[in-house]
Amino acid sequence: MTFDPSRLPDYLDAAVEAARRGAAELEGWRSRFKTREKSRADLVTDADTASQRVVKEFLLGRFPDHLFLGEEEAVGKSHEDTRPAAGGPPVWVVDPLDGTSNYVHDVPAYCVSIGLWTGGRAVVGVIHDPRMNEVFAAAAGHGAKLNGSPIRVSTVPDLAGGMLSTGFPADVAKQLRNLDAWRAMAAHAQSIRRTGSTALNMAYVAAGRFDGYWAFDNWAWDVMAGACLVTEAGGTLTATDGTPFDPFRPDLAATNGRLHAELVRVLNS
Q: What is the pLDDT of residues 167-216, one digit of tens each?
A: 987 777 777 888 999 999 999 999 999 999 999 999 999 999 999 999 99
pLDDT, one tens digit per residue, over 43-100 is 457 888 899 999 999 999 999 999 999 987 777 788 888 999 988 999 999 999 999 8
Mean pLDDT of 101-129: 96
Report the C-alpha gap between 240 and 182 in whole angstroms: 13
Is pLDDT of 42 > 50? no
Report the C-alpha gap between 44 and 30 in whole angstroms: 13
Please list, residue by residue across 4-21, b when 16 or more beta carbons sit within 10 angstroms of its beta carbon and e when fewer do: eeeebeebbebbbbbbbb
Question: Which residues, including other chains, have CB under 8 Å from residue 62's CB and lie 6 or more apart?
Answer: 14
Collapse the DSSP code of 205 into the 3-class scheme (helix H, G, I; strand E, B; otherwise coil) and give the result. Answer: helix
Nearest C-alpha neighbor of 224 from the set 19, 69, 62, 13 = 69
Cβ atoms < 10 Å from Cβ of 65: 8
Average pLDDT value over all residues in the chain: 92
188 near 173, Cβ under 8 Å?
A: no
Report the C-alpha gap between 75 and 197 in whole angstroms: 19
142 near 155, Cβ under 8 Å?
A: no
123 near 68, Cβ under 8 Å?
A: no
Write down the pLDDT at residue 235. Answer: 98
